[in-house]
A and B are shown apart, each in its own frame.
Chain A
Amino acid sequence: AQSVTQLGSHVSVSEGALVLLRCNYSSSVPPYLFWYVQYPNQGLQLLLKYTTGATLVKGINGFEAEFKKSETSFHLTKPSAHMSDAAEYFCAVSDRDTNAGKSTFGDGTTLTVKP
């Protein structure tokens, strides 16, 4: 069984400030982890993924995330927020024991960027 908890349903930052979106997971086996972004009236777009190997993963649009097994976390960060980063962000987990292609999504975090 697997689950995802995104801490903070709403995060607000000023333009240029650090973005930190939190994701904790639960999985009985080593997980695969994903961050997706959803802009208004659009589908989800992959930001980055962790499968194996290097625990610091770099994604698109300047985002990165670090897999920390000891903390069961996969927090998403960006050094400097831009107005265009305002969107809904979903963390997702799948593991090697689940039915193929089945990911579990967190409830999402709405990121607001203030000018």
Chain B
Amino acid sequence: DTEVTQTPKHLVMGMTNKKSLKCEQHMGHRAMYWYKQKAKKPPELMFVYSYEKLSINESVPSRFSPECPNSSLLNLHLHALQPEDSALYLCASSQGDTDNQPQHFGDGTRLSIL
């Protein structure tokens, strides 16, 4: 069991759909992250939220829209995705936003774009 919970575990959507991925942690962590991971590849950082404010956007296309409603929740809103966006989307959190803090990962949402 992980302490970072992601829903749904699997998502299949068409290119015109709008959906959201959700992430929740109750460890009191103040930094939260979204990663995209392709098969047999390392995670690629997409966004970092620090103290509920967006601190890093790794030039992610606007069809991905992050939201941090509070310190425990992180959403990723999806709209007009492309087939190449099919991947495992991982959420992570860390105690703070300093570089010596390890990240705690959820089990991910496996996204398939038709």
> Could you list which residues of chain A lie within 8 angstroms of chain B, going by C-beta atoms?
32, 34, 36, 41-46, 49, 51, 88, 90, 94-96, 98-103, 105-108, 110
CA distance A102 to B99 in the complex (A): 7
What are 11 A-B pairs with beta-carbon distances under 8 A?
A: A32-B99, A43-B6, A43-B90, A43-B92, A51-B100, A88-B40, A94-B100, A100-B99, A102-B48, A102-B56, A106-B42
Chain B residues closer than 8 Å to A100, beta-carbon distance: 31, 48, 50, 55, 96-99
Contact of A32 among B48, B55, B100, B110 (CB under 8 A): B100
Q: List B residues at the A interface (Cβ < 8 Å).
A: 2, 4, 6, 31, 33, 40-43, 45, 48, 50, 55-56, 90, 92, 94, 96-108, 110
Which chain A residue lies CB-closest to B32?
A101
Structural contact, B41 and A108, CB atoms closer than 8 A:
yes
Most B C-beta atoms less than 10 A away, residue of A88, A90, A99, A110: A99
Q: How far does the Cβ of B6 sit from chain A's closest Cβ, in whole Å?
A: 8
Chain A residues, Cβ within 8 Å of B96? 100
Most buried by A among B50, B56, B103: B103
B residues less than 8 Å from A44 (CB atoms): 43, 90, 92, 103, 105
Are B42 and A108 in contact (CB-based, < 8 A)? yes
Q: Please name 7 further chain A to chain B contacts, defined as beta carbons within 8 Å, in addition to the given A32-B100, A43-B105, A101-B97, sorted by A numbering.
A: A43-B90, A43-B107, A94-B100, A96-B99, A100-B55, A102-B56, A102-B99
